Amino acid sequence: MRQLAGRLTAPGALDQVPHPQLADAAWALGHAGALDEQLASQLLQHSQQQAAHGQLDVQGLAEVLDALAAAKFRPSPPVLNQLLTAADPLSRCRSSQELGALLSALGRLGYQPDDRF
């Protein structure tokens, strides 16, 4: 598992993995104790970039955040604020189920939104 984590930290490696598999990999690495803070931060940054370019939907974002929460990774509120600003989930959400999944993942991360959200 640590070899997989090491491969994912290589430059450009996250771009080669489709998002559903990326969330699954993050979940598996977290449960195996192989998801370190560096890789978790890279996953968040990658997700933010994907969301900003419309390549990551709200459900995909929820899955990544849920995997990080399961691994007990706790990004700072400013990092999550930036991610949510880039993702703009309120205008891009296609269903109440997507929004519920995102809110659940954010709650598991211990996120408390500021007044913008």
Would you list the DSSP string of the chain?
-HHHHHHHTSTTTGGGS-HHHHHHHHHHHHHTT---HHHHHHHHHHHHHHHHTT-S-HHHHHHHHHHHHHTT----HHHHHHHHHHH-HHHH--SHHHHHHHHHHHHHTT----TT-
Give me the average pLDDT of each 10-residue run along the chain (117 residues): 69 80 86 88 89 87 93 91 88 90 94 74
The proportion of the chain whose per-residue pLDDT surpasses 90, expressed as a percent, equals: 33
What is the model's pLDDT at position 2?
A: 66
What is the per-residue pLDDT across 51-72, written as a single tens digit (0 to 9) for each?
Answer: 888 888 899 999 999 999 999 9
What is the model's pLDDT at position 55?
A: 86
